[in-house]
Amino acid sequence: MRGKKNLPIFLGYAVASLVTLAYLATQMGGEFFLQGTYHVKAVFATGAQLVANDDVTISGIRVGKVESLGPAAGGGAAASLVIHTQYAPLFKDAHAVIKAKNLLGETYVELNRGTTAAGPMPDGGSIDQANTLTPVEIDRILDTLDPDTRNRLVLTINSLGQAVAGNGAAMNASAGDLRLLAQSLQKIAATVASTSDRLDALISGLMKVMQTLAAWHSEFRAMITDWDRLMQALASREAALQGTFKHDDEVMAIFAQALSGPAATDLHTAIANGPALIDNSNHYLGDGQQVFPQLAQNSDSIAGLFYELASVMSGIDGSGQHMWRVTAVKADASVDCPPQDVQTCQALGTYTPK
């Protein structure tokens, strides 16, 4: 009878114990107790303060946790991630990033599932280091600075602290001006947005100019090279050019000397007689315009005459002389000489003045 009375109490203790154990298992990371899991390994450059049981999220939703963390075979840190099966699978081009959760240094892993075109990643797959990112810690940035730069940075931070110390009220008062500044910046942003099309066109034009310059890069280089060669050739010919200029000066001196002597008087005389010579030439050309057309009309007769003379004068006597000779004949002085032929008659001696 006593055992039967204690049975409900025993069952109550048993149920309470199981509930407590389940709660403790859940709080101690037993959220995957009696649930299916999906395992992925992510290789990071460094652990970056990542520890076991840190959260794993996808698009800000917690989907699992960091199960363990250890060194990777090829360098870096390998994190084993366990994910609930309802968020599986990831794809082969998935990405993983370690992010800071708060200022205390707590971190978590953010996953990007990738694309379905890459194909699903099997359970136990790995995200290579090429597809992971690790936050840069401030200590690593400071380590890259040399001691002098670090000392100057410390002085700058201390000076900034001294400048703002005790000026909290003034800074709070000036904070109201930030709204006006934000409004002004908003107007500037609206103006820039309204001219975005023009800016795009300008940038497009600049890109075309840069592409053209890039396409003509070799031609510009060749042109500059040719110009350099030309300058070198001119430099090498400088002495020859100086000699040429010297000879030019000598030639000009000779011309000056020639024109300053008696030849200058003859030159002036020839220039003064030039108009009369031009008039005589014009007169001759005018007469020629009348005579030459007449000769052209009788060209056939003249040609026949010369042909007959050639046939007649081709004979040669025994002494080797032509049978025909042209002999000057003195005309009778009693013959009247026409007025237009007076000069000819005087030359022949047939003109007697009356």
Q: From 128, 38, 43, select the one nearest 79 (Cα to Cα).
A: 43
* Model confidence at 335: pLDDT above 60: no
pLDDT digits (tens, 9 = 90+) for 81-117: 999 999 989 999 999 999 988 877 789 999 999 999 9
| pLDDT of the residue at 349 | 54
Q: Are the beta carbons of 132 and 81 closer than 8 angstroms?
A: no
Torsion angle defined by CA atoms of residues 336, 339, 344 and 349, in that order, rounded to the nearest 10 degrees: 40
| Mean pLDDT value across the chain | 77
pLDDT bracket for residue 119 (50, 70, 90): very high
* Model confidence at 314: pLDDT above 60: no
pLDDT digits (tens, 9 = 90+) for 225-281: 888 888 888 777 776 666 666 666 676 777 666 666 666 677 777 777 778 778 777
* Model confidence at 331: pLDDT above 50: no
Higher pLDDT, 199 or 288: 199
pLDDT bracket for residue 328 (50, 70, 90): very low
Cis peptide before 89 (omega within 30 of 0): yes
Give the C-alpha separation, 188 to 182, whole Å.
10
The Cα angle at residue 124 between residues 30 and 126, in degrees rounded to 5: 120
Q: From 174, 172, 90, select the one nearest 132 (Cα to Cα).
A: 90
| pLDDT of the residue at 244 | 66
Domain spans of the chain, in order of start: 35-140, 185-236, 237-297, 300-348
* Model confidence at 329: pLDDT above 50: no
* Model confidence at 320: pLDDT above 70: no
Quick one: tokens of 74? 């090829």
Exposed, middle or buried by CB within 10 Å (0-12, 13-18, 19+), for 283? exposed
| pLDDT of the residue at 207 | 86
* Model confidence at 143: pLDDT above 80: no
pLDDT bracket for residue 31 (50, 70, 90): low
| pLDDT of the residue at 94 | 95
DSSP 65: E
Say which amino acid occupies 91. Answer: F
Report field, pTM of the whole predicted structure over 0.75: no
One DSSP character per residue, 257-287 reads HHHHSHHHHHHHHHHHHHHHHHHHHHHHHHH
- Angle in degrees, 0-180, between the axes of helices 238-260 and 217-236, rounded to the nearest 10: 50
Higher pLDDT, 326 or 32: 32
In the sheet that 55-58 helps form, which strands lie side by side, from edge to edge? 125-127, 37-44, 77-84, 61-71, 55-58, 107-112, 95-100, 132-133
Higher pLDDT, 339 or 118: 118
* Model confidence at 326: pLDDT above 50: no
**Which stretch, 26-40, 111-125, 237-251, has highest mean pLDDT?**
111-125
Higher pLDDT, 42 or 171: 42
pLDDT bracket for residue 125 (50, 70, 90): very high
Q: Which of 23-32, 45-54, 149-158, 344-353 has the lowest mean pLDDT?
A: 344-353
| pLDDT of the residue at 327 | 46
Higher pLDDT, 229 or 310: 229
* Model confidence at 77: pLDDT above 70: yes
| pLDDT of the residue at 330 | 47
- Tokens 């050639």 appear where? 310
What percent of the chain lies above the pLDDT cut of 70? 73
* Buried-exposed string 90-126: b where 16+ CB fall within 10 A, e elsewhere: bbbbbbbbbeeeeeeeebbbbbbbbeeeeeebeeebe
Say which amino acid occupies 294. Answer: Q
| pLDDT of the residue at 64 | 92
Higher pLDDT, 243 or 160: 160
| pLDDT of the residue at 339 | 59
DSSP lists the bridge partners of residue 127 as 42
| pLDDT of the residue at 271 | 77
| pLDDT of the residue at 33 | 58
